[in-house]
Structure formats: structure tokens, C-alpha cells
Amino acid sequence: MLRRSSRRDPGDVTGLSVPPLTSAETPGMSRMKHVLLAGLLCLAATAARAAEPRLAIPEVRAFMAEVAAASNARDADRIAALLATDCRIELRTQLEGREQVTLFTRDEYVAMLKTGYAGLADLADYLYRVDGEQVTLDDDPPGATVTSRVTETFTFQGRHHTTHSEETARVERRGGKPMVVAVSSLTRGD
């Protein structure tokens, strides 16, 4: 038997508690109470996630245009504001015949953009162009998967470079607005 708890735990989304086992209950009945409670907690979590309005393709496209504009402006703080705090970034790079895979958290990625070997501020004539953007809306979990081809051109240490990337970004609504929650990129360049 589930009952409403008189003391609320701030992390308890249901306000329900399981009373201690009484002499009339069997251990099997107690397990069943815990299974039912776990089910109710899952339903509450699903309902909370479903409370966010579903993303629409025009909204996702407009958001990705913001990402491109922040990149073209070489504004690392603006880019950071578009990435969820738990965003994960995987960059696979094939340059000069070698491949490297680098995994970043959001904060590590932003630090790299600001102060890395070739930070955005160090790149002259920088241009970020997106082509072939495809948006697929997903229901479980709700969000969108965005695939695109990105071309970046820039001058670094007096040498002009062009890179081509195949990117996949995961966009979900967080706190009422779209945010990038994951990015995977394969970059080839000279």
C-alpha cells in the first residue's frame, strides 16, 4: 500500500513513500510495493520530460543558424551558451594522413576554442559554412538529430587551410530552449 508522505524529500518527485513491512505482509508483497513505486517514479520522470514542448523543424533550423552565426563570429562564449552543460563532443580528425579522436566535455571544448593550439581568436579570414543540413525529429527521447557538411576556411600562421567535416548534432529542449547535447564530427583537411 502506497501512501502520501508527510515529509517531502526535495528530490522526491512523487511525494510517495513505502511504509515499513508489517507482520501481515510477505516479503513478496514488499517487493511488489517497491516495483510499483519504481514504476510510478518512471512515469513521473517521463511526464516531466514530456512536459517540454516538442521541437519543430523550423525551430531546429533557426537554432542551428545561431550556432553557425556564433561560429562565424568566432564567439566562444556565444557558442558555449548554445551547448548544454552536459554536452559531449567527439572530434575525429584526418589531417596529413593521420587520424585522431578527441573527446571533450562542453567546458573542455570551450577552453580549446579560447586558448587551444589554434584558438578561434588566432584564426584570420575564418569562415564557417554549413551545407546539406538534414533534420530528423525524434520521439524517444524527444529532440532532433541534425546532420550536415561543414566547411571551414581560415589562415593560421600565414598558411591558408580548408577543412571539410561531416557533423551529427543532437538537439534537445533544455529549460524551454533548444540546446546541443552531443556532437560528433569527422573532419578532413589539408
Question: What confidence category does residue 101 fall into, taking pLDDT thresholds of 50, 70 and 90?
Answer: very high
Compute the residue count for the chain: 190
What CATH number should be reported for the domain whose range is 57-189?
A: 3.10.450.50
Question: What confidence category does residue 36 fall into, taking pLDDT thresholds of 50, 70 and 90?
Answer: low
pLDDT for res 96: 80
Question: What confidence category does residue 14 fall into, taking pLDDT thresholds of 50, 70 and 90?
Answer: very low
Strand (E) positions, the chain? 3-4, 16-17, 83-95, 98-105, 124-139, 142-156, 159-174, 177-189
pLDDT digits (tens, 9 = 90+) for 116-175: 766 777 788 888 899 999 999 999 889 999 999 999 998 888 889 888 999 999 999 999
Average the pLDDT over 178-187 and give the result: 96
pLDDT for res 4: 42
Query: Domains of the chain: which residue ranges?
Result: 3-50, 57-189
Question: What confidence category does residue 31 fall into, taking pLDDT thresholds of 50, 70 and 90?
Answer: low
Look up residue 19 and give its DSSP letter.
P
Distance CA 42, CA 36 (A): 10
The answer to whether residue 34 scores a pLDDT higher than 80 is: no
The answer to whether residue 80 scores a pLDDT higher than 50 is: yes
CA dihedral 69, 176, 166, 121 (to 10 degrees): 40
pLDDT digits (tens, 9 = 90+) for 104-122: 999 999 998 898 766 777 7
pLDDT digits (tens, 9 = 90+) for 37-60: 555 555 554 554 556 789 999 999
Question: What confidence category does residue 5 fall into, taking pLDDT thresholds of 50, 70 and 90?
Answer: very low
pLDDT for res 95: 77
